Structure 1
């Protein structure tokens, strides 16, 4: 066992005083968060005297097994799952009291309630928190899920996403009002169909982030995976006479302690060379020619990106003539080293089904009626949204509504009632 692994196990053992447990196994994993590579160290601890059951389809760990995952660099806990009525050191026996619960979450996460995280949803046994900056939510950000047993004991604590204190936030007062964005809000009215009873028309205002200058901001994905945009139309003169074979899915190589020490970059961040692009294009053309032999010139490579241990290639119609053609996407996975064909996914059936329900064309006066009916129910909430062009979170207003307008009855109803 590597010395780093031993040190991390000893840290967990001491922090939670797992003297009544036996260490069973551990593993490292590597994740992409923002433009950074983040590692995790997962461990399983079995109660003394319990037995592991070996079955044909895998190993069954005994009731009471404790699962603990930490960041091997910061040593923050990201998963603490008890899998049974256990009691371990530093975890209160009853977390139903909000003061006790907040103090414990703060100690486990190194975050401050109201400053770094805030409550999003709760019931008797489940609590969901999201990251924030001084009480204003961040999008995207960190999620904290806490599940309790019926008697208030911890069942699972789970964290995912970037730590709030690591965010770069452009702090400013929130001054945006609904009156400032009236015309923009009207443009966000969207039609949808619901089936209670049958297929019925409804309209609502789609969730939209609006800057304080009054423009729409699309949240940037905090996943800077190597990705190349392409516009390569695939053509061929003759139908393929060869039969291509799909290769089985394969697992990525295990992440090691040496990777943690060296802080090895996630493979998905590695740039894709022009040589690889050319070879990838040739491989994709052979596959498309084989699967869609009569459709030369009708497919275009849109994006090539890494999805370790694969290269993912996304295609769309080169000359769309319908809604289905416009929305249809084909995704092909290739082995990133050999460029062997792994899989092909075509979402044509999904978009064909969606196209069977046609949204109505709205006249201007109809749109005014819908907007005026929904306007008293519009919500504008401050939200920090990550803007990739600025490399930081900027303060926006989240335009949204919990209500929908029903043209058949001229009613405004709660979305959850549909």
Structure 2
């Protein structure tokens, strides 16, 4: 057993008093939290004197198994799952009382309720919390899901996402108003069709994060990855002289204790060399040329991005002529090392669903009518959003509406009532 693994398992033994358990399985995993690489040490503990049952469709763990995952650097618990009606040291026997529940969560997460996390959903036996900074929610942020049994005992604690104490936040006062962003709000008026006789349309203001300088900020995803924007139209004559067979899916490299010690960067963060992008383009052109031989000049290679252990390539119509064409996508997976063809996904089936959909054209006065109708139902709430270009969270306003305008009746209703 590696020294780090021994240290972490001893820590779990001491914290949760697992003296009546034996370690059945442990492993390290690697994840992406905004622009940082994170690690997790995951374990399964089974009661002494029990054994697992190997079946054709998987392994059945015995009653009383305890699943624990921690951050190997900070030692914060990220998963605590109890398989059965069992009690674990340091976990209250009944978590239905709000004071008991909050105090325990604060001790487990190193966060303070109201300052670092707030309640999002309360469903008697299920509680969902989201991370915040001085009460203002973070996007993307940390999620805390707590599930209890009917008698209030812990069933599962699951924590995922960037810990608010591990990322820098640019603290500011929120001063943005709806009046300041009227022009931008009108640009966010979007339409969609809904299943009613006669091909009905509805309009709403699409959710957006607006900086205090009145510009839209697209938040970084939790799965931030290296990518290259290509925007290259693929043209050819005839079939390609090269054919590519599909290879089976494969898993990424095993994460080790040494990776944790050296803080090895996640593979998805590695830049894509230009020579790799060029070679990737050549393979993609061969595949498209053979699979869509009659479509020369109709497909544009948009992006190449990492999706360990693959390179993912997205293509769309080079010259869309309809609403459906605008949303047509092809995604191709290649092995990141060999560029072997792994998979191809085409969303062409959406064309059947939206074949009769045409985008309504709005005159300026119609847009004003929709904006004025929806304006009373707009909200602008403060939200800290991670800005990858700056490497920290900045204060924005979340522009949102849960209402829609129906041009057929000139009425505004709740989105959920459609």
TM-score range, shorter chain: over 0.9
Match of 1:377 in 2: 377
Measured after TM superposition, the shift of residue 224 of structure 1 is: 4.3
Contact 1:305 1:312 in 2 (8 A): yes
Q: CA deviation at 1:352?
A: 5.0
Deviations 1:225-258 (A, max 9, x none): 2211113333333313665321111111211112
- Answer with 243-252 or 135-144: which moved more: 243-252
SS of the aligned residue for 1:330 comes to: strand
**Could you list the runs of 4 or more consecutive aligned residues of structure 1 that deviate by over 6 angstroms after TM superposition?**
none
Match of 1:50 in 2: 50
Asked if the contact 1:129–1:145 (Cα under 8 Å) also holds between the matched residues in 2, the reply is yes
What is the distance in 1 between the residues matched to 2:4 and 2:155?
28
Is structure 2 residue 266 aligned with structure 1 residue 266? yes
1:82 match: secondary structure: strand
Matches within 5 A, 1:124-143: 124-143=124-143
Per the alignment, in what secondary structure is the counterpart of residue 27 of structure 1? Answer: strand
Farther-moved stretch of structure 1 (152-161 vs 350-359): 350-359
Specify the alignment match of 1:240 in structure 2: 240
CA–CA separation in structure 1 for the residues paired with 2:139 and 2:208 = 12
Measure the CA separation in 2 of the matches of 1:326 and 1:295. 16
Q: 1:402 to 1:296 in 2, by over 3 A?
A: closer
For residues 4-403 of structure 1, what are the structure 2 equivalents within 5 Å?
4-195=4-195, 200-221=200-221, 223-240=223-240, 243-351=243-351, 353-403=353-403
- 1:198 deviation in Å? 7.8
Shift of 1:361: 2.8
Deviations 1:71-97 (A, max 9, x none): 111111111111222210111111111
Which is worse superposed, 357-366 or 224-233?
A: 357-366
Contact preservation (8 Å) 1:248, 1:342: yes
**Counterparts of 2:366 and 2:274, CA distance in 1:** 52
Structure 2 unaligned regions, length at least 5: none
User: Which shifted more, 232-241 or 124-133?
Assistant: 232-241
Indicate how the Cα distance of structure 1 residues 11 and 131 shifts in structure 2: closer, same or farther if over 3 A, else same: same
The structure-2 alpha-carbon separation of the partners of 1:285 and 1:405, relative to structure 1 and needing over 3 Å to count, comes to: closer
Change (3 A) 1:277 1:22: same
| Higher mean displacement: 294-303 or 39-48 | 294-303
C-alpha displacement of 1:338: 1.6
1:415 counterpart residue number? 415
Deviations 1:272-305, CA, capped at 9 Å, x for gaps:
2233223222222221122112223332322222
- Contact 2:161-2:222 at 8 Å conserved across structures: no
Contact 2:116 2:164 (8 Å CA) reproduced: yes
Change (3 A) 1:332 1:9: same
Report the number of matched residues: 418
Q: Distance in 2 between matches of 1:373 and 1:321?
A: 31
Q: For each residue in 1:373-413, what CA deviation from the matched residue of structure 2 results, as whole angstroms up to 9, or x when unmatched? A: 32222211111112233332221211112222333444332
The structure-2 alpha-carbon separation of the partners of 1:330 and 1:402, relative to structure 1 and needing over 3 Å to count, comes to: same
Query: Per-residue displacement from partner, 1:46-77 (whole Å, max 9, x unpaired)?
Result: 12333311111221112322110001111111
CA distance in 2, matches of 1:412, 1:231: 40
The answer to whether the 8 A contact 2:35-2:388 is kept is no
Alignment RMSD: 2.1
